[in-house]
Structure 1
Amino acid sequence: MDASKDTMAVRGLCVQPAFSVSSLVSSVQPSISSCATILRTQLSSQRHQLLCCCGSVSESCSAFTNHERARAGRRSNIVGQFSRTGLNLESFGSNRTSRRTVFSMSSAGPSDAQTLSMEEQEFIRTEEKINSHQRAAARLEREVEARTVVDRLANGILSTISKKSGGYPVPSMVPYAVEESGTILLCVSGLSPHTVDLEANPKCALLVAKDLNDRSDLVVTLISEASDVPEHDIEQAKSTFLKKHPGAFWVDFGDFKMVRLDPKQVRCVSGIVIGTASVSLFSGELFKCAAIDPISQFSGPIAHHMNEDHADQTKTIVEKSVGVKVDSALITDVDSLGFYVLSQREGNPLRLRIPFPRKAESRKDVKQLIVELLGGGASPEK
């Protein structure tokens, strides 16, 4: 690449139907940052934007993301050039000789109406409505959500530095329990490779996810240091572990011992592939001090009842709250600030956050808040 020409190559990928454009920048010359039109490329926290530009150009770039998503029904590649005077992007499939221009603009910037059909413009408006609602939807603080999820679940993937494999990390599925202090308890066998690994190197990580097949849901990784539970704490540790795993008869076996993981850092990832990607990294102390959301313990029964007996009402709530039509909506999780639903819209899955009008104080209060949601909100799209 010739930096003196103030251009840079960009490659991207359109993936349908779950996500539209992922920016893959091959190289950026330092001189580009001073370009009059283009500031830089970046990934939006709400959805992937291929470009991030100055002024009104940014809106055009955002429109391009949805424009290509509206048109593409297959995988396609995006290639183009930035310069001081403009931008041109072309799309091509596996046959590189067949290209078409999908977006073009000069410094003046053509209007979206010149590029998009009315149907595509309506698609973009609907997407923006959904994204705007989701950005504003109240959620638990990240450390509270992480602590709540880890406390509710019972199994995770423990990664240790393998002594046998020459220092490579090796994962194992393990049952765990959480102490009131926020530390994690394991009951491990001396015959297990991960026990040998922890004795040689106590640094490890425990990954916890509600559904390993759903990358849009929250995944929590506890970057931790392991140590044997002291003799004076063993009986209490066993009792805590047995409350979570009543059938764990092996806790008293001679070759098993109680191990405590002390979280040093916590990483939370959610919203992958659905356009609301979020990554958080915070201290283990923040995790350990976080309170467990009091409503989340009722999430399963509430969701089951609503999905079995009141699915139509849930659909109505989604349409009133978000302001768009959906084919169906099932509640997946409930907490004190709202709930998550898995909706179907035009044949595609759509995971949404629906906030309560106020914080729920009890399980009974959740019922009242659901009634309030049914009685008001934005009008669904026509």
Structure 2
Amino acid sequence: MTDHDQQAAAARQVLAGSFHGVLSTHSLELAGYPFGSVVPYVLDQEGLPLLLLSPLSQHTKNLEADSRCGLTVVEEGEGDVQQRGRLSAVGKVTPCGADADGERYFCAFPHSRLYVEQLDFRFYRFTPLRFHWNGGFATARWFGNDRILRANPLSPEAQRRIIAHMNQDHRDTLRGYLRTIDATAGEEEVAMIGIDAEGIDVRVADRLRRIPLLRPIGSPVEAREVLVEMATQPGGD
């Protein structure tokens, strides 16, 4: 794998595993100036960030007037933020239907279902034009969508089956997966909330974590093979 490929892969994991970012819109109040807001998101079936926005928020009002915006996400970690990966994208945010993607969002953020039912929040999709990645010294570069966006190869139903099976029968295994990225992880409750071509997403207490797969998958059969293999890795129990 070339350095370019490695950097693109790292950028994809940051996009998939950040779960929130800074959305920069065009200010209505101060024309010509950017307006930044922290917003949660998940990746939809096509690998695009899915947002749930209030009609009363300033960023939503800004987007209704001008859908052009930027989204910046930062790799999880401690210490100097400039030593962590940072991914910025420019594109547009537009309203969308959700369906299965909406359920994915609610799985990540359970409290948000009430926002839709009682507060008239709506789903929006961020469609990027290009990405800019900075993973550390001498790594800054632009990437096209083809290098960063990855559609989920598993159908929503296949995802639900895998998630239900892991949560029902393999809680200890999920804790083992968590220890591969966090050696300090204890016996806290871990629940799987998502799986895609390159990683699984879990909830640990009130925190969302991303666990990369050993290799990309393209089918439920490959998902099972990789998950079993990961369970035999050091720290994977």
Q: How many residues of Structure 1 are paired with residues of Structure 2 in the alignment?
A: 178
Structure 2 match to 1:214: 81
SS at match of 1:167: coil
2:182 counterpart of 1:304: yes
2:115 counterpart of 1:250: yes
Structure 2 match to 1:127: none
SS at match of 1:278: coil
Q: Matches of residues 163-182 of structure 1 in structure 2 within 5 Å?
A: 163-182=28-47
Structure 1 match to 2:145: 284
Does the 8 Å CA contact 1:299/1:334 hold for their aligned counterparts?
no
Does the 8 Å CA contact 1:185/1:260 hold for their aligned counterparts?
yes
Kindly report the root-mean-square deviation, in angstroms, between the aligned alpha carbons of the 2 structures: 3.5
Does the 8 Å CA contact 1:238/1:251 hold for their aligned counterparts?
no
Structure 2 match to 1:227: 94
Aligned mate of 2:60, from 187, 195, 209: 195
Q: How far apart, in 2, do the equivalents of 1:160 and 1:191 lie?
A: 15
Q: How far apart, in 1, do the equivalents of 2:135 and 2:18 lie?
A: 17
User: Deviations 1:43-97 (Å, cap 9, x if unpaired)?
Assistant: xxxxxxxxxxxxxxxxxxxxxxxxxxxxxxxxxxxxxxxxxxxxxxxxxxxxxxx
User: Deviations 1:305-351 (Å, cap 9, x if unpaired)?
Assistant: 3x579xxxxxxxxxxxxxxxxxxxxxxx87648xxxxxxxxxxxxxx
Does the 8 Å CA contact 2:7/2:139 hold for their aligned counterparts?
no
Q: How far apart, in 1, do the equivalents of 2:128 and 2:24 lie?
A: 13
**Closer, same or farther in 2 for the Cα pair 1:138/1:221, shift >3 Å?**
closer
**Closer, same or farther in 2 for the Cα pair 1:228/1:308, shift >3 Å?**
closer
Q: How far apart, in 2, do the equivalents of 1:284 and 1:137 lie?
A: 18
SS at match of 2:84: coil
2:101 counterpart of 1:240: no
Does the 8 Å CA contact 1:203/1:224 hold for their aligned counterparts?
yes
2:20 counterpart of 1:155: yes
**Closer, same or farther in 2 for the Cα pair 1:308/1:162, shift >3 Å?**
closer
SS at match of 1:221: strand
SS at match of 2:9: helix
**Closer, same or farther in 2 for the Cα pair 1:366/1:250, shift >3 Å?**
same
Q: Unpaired segments of 5 or more residues in structure 2? A: 154-174, 187-210, 216-226
2:44 counterpart of 1:183: no
Q: Unpaired segments of 5 or more residues in structure 1? A: 1-135, 310-332, 338-359, 371-382
Does the 8 Å CA contact 1:147/1:290 hold for their aligned counterparts?
no
Q: Matches of residues 40-189 of structure 1 in structure 2 within 5 Å?
A: 141-189=6-54
- How far off its partner does 1:180 sit? 2.1
Structure-1-length-normalised TM-score: 0.41
- How far off its partner does 1:252 sit? 2.2
Greater relative contact order (Cα 8 A, min sep 6): structure 1 or 2?
2
- How far off its partner does 1:258 sit? 0.7
Does the 8 Å CA contact 1:298/1:334 hold for their aligned counterparts?
no
Q: How far apart, in 2, do the equivalents of 1:215 and 1:361 lie?
A: 36
Structure-2-length-normalised TM-score: 0.63
Structure 1 match to 2:203: none
